[in-house]
Structure 1
């Protein structure tokens, strides 16, 4: 099961294609620990396996991230979601949407897929409880019909997990 924005995606710009090809080569040469890129023929959508870090609540558990790149990447953040079933985490909704500021308001073109993955693994690793966000049911209900997490007005107030 995958999620996508309701509007059709536009083809990647030349800048985005060049940047993603460079990131893909770097990933193949020096992959971030705890991640495995699933090779496909679609440069605009990456599927990445995430393996929970040893000594954490998610140790040896495997999840999948879906990374969809917009036309103007890296000037615009990719859409990053967990392919359900998403991990139980206070900042991850059951539909796979992730409440993490670097995916929205704090995005920088200097960030890469690798740096985003490391941030997500760090967020998972620092959690002390396995639970859904308090507003999970309401949020997921409001996201029906393929609503993108980038259409959400996130409120970033908890920097503990």
Structure 2
């Protein structure tokens, strides 16, 4: 039953993106099936440390989406790199509460894109998380298997 709900919801979201477009500053690169979608993301405006930069994101959807959050990572291959940000690891994993304990089924792909775009736009200094090297060395394949601690929402 969950798979049917996920299929219906993802079909609706993809139709909306195809007809109205994704949020400004983002582009749908691929959505050949309902399991994995890829987007580019740029921060709007010139007063950002990421001005002129574009990043790629991969969304993977679980069978029980939207009851469970998608797996979202910045792509770090094929010439793409993850942005240097205090909540984004060099392997592309993001420490973002709405992708973990603050996920709600009312959220969707566009709201995740806007959240990440906003998170980057508010960043004042490019830097990796303090534990980047240790985390990347021991990180699970999926960031959804990480027990994130959300203690800093200032960046």
Say yes or no: TM over 0.5.
Answer: yes
Q: How far is the alpha carbon of 1:39 from its aligned partner?
A: 2.9
- Are residues 1:21 and 2:15 paired? no
2:111: which partner in 1?
115
2:34: which partner in 1?
43
Superposition CA RMSD, Å: 1.2
- In structure 2, what is the Cα distance between the partners aligned to 1:112 and 1:52? 19
List runs of 5+ in structure 2 lacking aligned partners: none
Structure 1 SS opposite 2:44: coil
1:101: which partner in 2?
97
Alignment of 1:1-161 (within 5 A): 13-30=3-20, 31-54=22-45, 55-84=47-76, 85-143=81-139, 147-161=141-155
Q: How many residues align?
A: 148
- In structure 2, what is the Cα distance between the partners aligned to 1:53 and 1:96? 21
List runs of 5+ in structure 1 lacking aligned partners: 1-11
TM-score (norm 1): 0.88
* Post-superposition CA distance 1:86-139 (Å, at most 9, x none): 000010000000000000000000001000100000000000000100000000
- In structure 2, what is the Cα distance between the partners aligned to 1:39 and 1:104? 24
- In structure 1, what is the Cα distance between the partners aligned to 2:141 and 2:53? 27
Q: How far is the alpha carbon of 1:32 from its aligned partner?
A: 0.7
Runs of 4+ deviating beyond 3 Å = none
Q: How far is the alpha carbon of 1:52 from its aligned partner?
A: 2.1
2:42·2:54 contact (CA, 8 Å) conserved in 1? yes
Structure 2 SS opposite 1:13: helix
- In structure 1, what is the Cα distance between the partners aligned to 2:69 and 2:4? 16
